[in-house]
Amino acid sequence: MIEPLHAGSALINPDYKEYIEPGLLRRMSKILRMSVACSGACLKQGGIEHPDAIVVGTGLGCLLDTEKFLNHALTVKGLLPPTSFIQSTHNTMAGQISLSLGNHGYNMTHTQNSVSFENALLDAMLLIDEGEKHILAGAADEHIALLDEISKQLNVRSDSRFTSGASFFILSAEKSDQTLAGIKDAEAVGLVKNIPEQITAFLDRNNVSPEDLDLVLYAGSIVGTEDEEKGFQSFWKMENLHVINYLKYSGIYPTASAFALHFAVDKMQHTRSLKNILICNSLIQHNLGLILVQSVEA
């Protein structure tokens, strides 16, 4: 049973040796371990050995290795060790997953801040439209101590804390016995001026009214003004929608909307009456990610 984060909450770490060879495991940072293990578990559950493509979203990439590389650049004289630089690039996760699977298909990393996962999801959906059958799509971001210091300088206003997380999914062209839910539509928009209007337009495009939504999973801006947040709350109340702030369960990281998708699918599996769930990601001011999830019976 998932519970809200509290002071004693810690990242759930599986036995990585079940997914990664010990020799490789020793050289992997936390975010690489999370990504490879999570994607491996996803493929195993879905009964897919080799996906047609691998698409990953990450907002900040491999922060720990980036920090190591920058520290080396400041402190080491002469030639810098290449490992931290190689592993600090944002596409390291997707590349490492591909290497672990021996997969030579389409491999892409999307990094568009707080809507990185939504863009990765859109890419995966386009690949499905182009004829690919099974796409491995997911997201991961990691927490390092430096983020806590930076958040104070940016006046982040949230009770949630910065965390790490990884979520992966298999998107398939056709429904099967393994299908848990469907992605009706996804959208990633920057420089949004009126988010309630954008949400309404998104729902209208999919012939879904606010009354059709059984649940909204919502992440409010952590740096916006209180007036903007009040505007959101009044919008939800006006439409009489059941809203859950998923950041209370995931904590803050740029691609937490991937966690929200996992949360939505789990909710649908345990509560069959849920037909339509909207994921509304406005984690960063003026960025908006929307994902409409439907049950397989909808």
Residues 29-75 have pLDDT tens digits of 999 999 999 999 999 999 999 999 999 999 999 999 999 888 888 88
Distances (CA, A) of 45 to 25, 48, 177: 22, 8, 12
How high is the pLDDT of residue 224?
Answer: 58
pLDDT at residue 259 is higher than 60 = yes
Question: Of 58, 62, 63, 60, nearest to 139 (Cα)?
Answer: 58
How high is the pLDDT of residue 161?
Answer: 85
Average pLDDT of the chain to the nearest whole number: 90
pLDDT at residue 243 is higher than 70 = yes
16-172 and 182-294 have identical folds: yes
Which two tokens mark 148? 């806590």
CATH number of 16-172: 3.40.47.10
How high is the pLDDT of residue 130?
Answer: 97
**Using DSSP, how many helices (H) and how many strands (E) does the chain show?**
11, 9
Range with the poorest average pLDDT among 7-21, 27-41, 176-190: 7-21
How high is the pLDDT of residue 8?
Answer: 80
Which two tokens mark 130? 């182009």
CATH class as words, domain 182-294: alpha beta
Q: 23-52 in b/e burial notation, b at 16+ Cβ within 10 A?
A: eeeeebbbbbbbbbbbbbebbeebebeebb
pLDDT at residue 238 is higher than 90 = no
Task: Spell out the domain ranges in the chain.
Answer: 16-172, 182-294
- 248, with CB counted inside 10 A (0-12, 13-18, 19+), is middle
Cα–Cα distance, 214 to 219 (Å, whole number):
17
Distances (CA, A) of 111 to 58, 234, 293: 5, 31, 22
Amino acid type, 97: I
Residues β-bridged to residue 216:
243, 278
The fraction of the chain above a pLDDT of 90, given in percent, is 67
Task: Let me know: does 292 contact 229? Beta carbons within 8 Å.
Answer: no
Task: Give this prediction's pTM.
Answer: 0.94
How high is the pLDDT of residue 157?
Answer: 65
How high is the pLDDT of residue 112?
Answer: 95
Task: Give 121's contacts (C-beta < 8 A, 6+ positions apart).
Answer: 55, 57, 137, 171, 183, 186, 291
| Max avg pLDDT among 76-85, 88-97, 236-245 | 88-97
Task: Give 208's contacts (C-beta < 8 A, 6+ positions apart).
Answer: 184, 276, 292
pLDDT at residue 97 is higher than 90 = yes
CA end-to-end distance (rounded Å), the chain: 26
